[in-house]
């Protein structure tokens, strides 16, 4: 797993995504104004994804499943991709727990 830190031309140009070995985004962030804030968000996901109590299981309007990773203050620091089944969602959570902590950060500019 690796973390891609993206910089765009947007008003809040920094965001990140945790990408698995298959090249799929497991968790992505909101947009941040400052690179330092995005880096703090990455560290927060790495820390909080290890705690089962930091996961919020959700279902979209179209019935797809996803999850949020929350910081200790309750703020969402990462949102997963959509999954068709609970097993797929649970597998992504297990992958995040096992691989996120050691994920290297790769910077990418738009």
CATH number at residue 45: 2.30.29.80
Helix (H) or strand (E) holding 55: strand 55-59
Above 70 in pLDDT, residue 17?
Answer: yes
pLDDT band at 93; cut points 50, 70, 90:
very high
pLDDT band at 57; cut points 50, 70, 90:
very high
Rounded to whole angstroms, the maximal C-alpha distance in the chain is: 37
61 in the Ramachandran plot: left (φ > 0), alpha (ψ -120 to 50) or beta? alpha
Could you give the CA distance from residue 11 to residue 30 in angstroms, rounded to a whole number? 13
Above 90 in pLDDT, residue 73?
Answer: yes
pLDDT value at residue 44: 97
Q: How many structural domains compose the chain? A: 1
Range of the domain at 94: 2-107
Residue 16, both tokens: 């990140």
Q: pTM of the prediction?
A: 0.92
DSSP state of 83: B
Residue 67, both tokens: 């999850």
Mean pLDDT, the chain, integer: 95
pLDDT band at 110; cut points 50, 70, 90:
low
Give me the residues paired with residue 32 across strands: 14
pLDDT value at residue 94: 97
């Amino acid at each position: 797993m690796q973390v891609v830190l993206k910089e765009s031309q947007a008003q809040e140009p920094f965001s990140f995504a945790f990408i698995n070995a298959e090249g799929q985004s497991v968790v992505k962030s909101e947009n941040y104004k400052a690179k330092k804030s995005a880096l703090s968000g990455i560290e927060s996901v790495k820390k909080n994804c290890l705690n089962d109590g930091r996961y919020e299981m959700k279902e979209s309007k179209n019935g797809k499943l996803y999850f949020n990773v929350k910081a200790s203050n309750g703020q969402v620091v990462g949102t997963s991709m959509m999954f068709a089944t609970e097993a797929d969602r649970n597998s992504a959570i297990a992958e995040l727990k096992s691989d996120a902590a050691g994920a290297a950060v790769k910077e990418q500019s738009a």
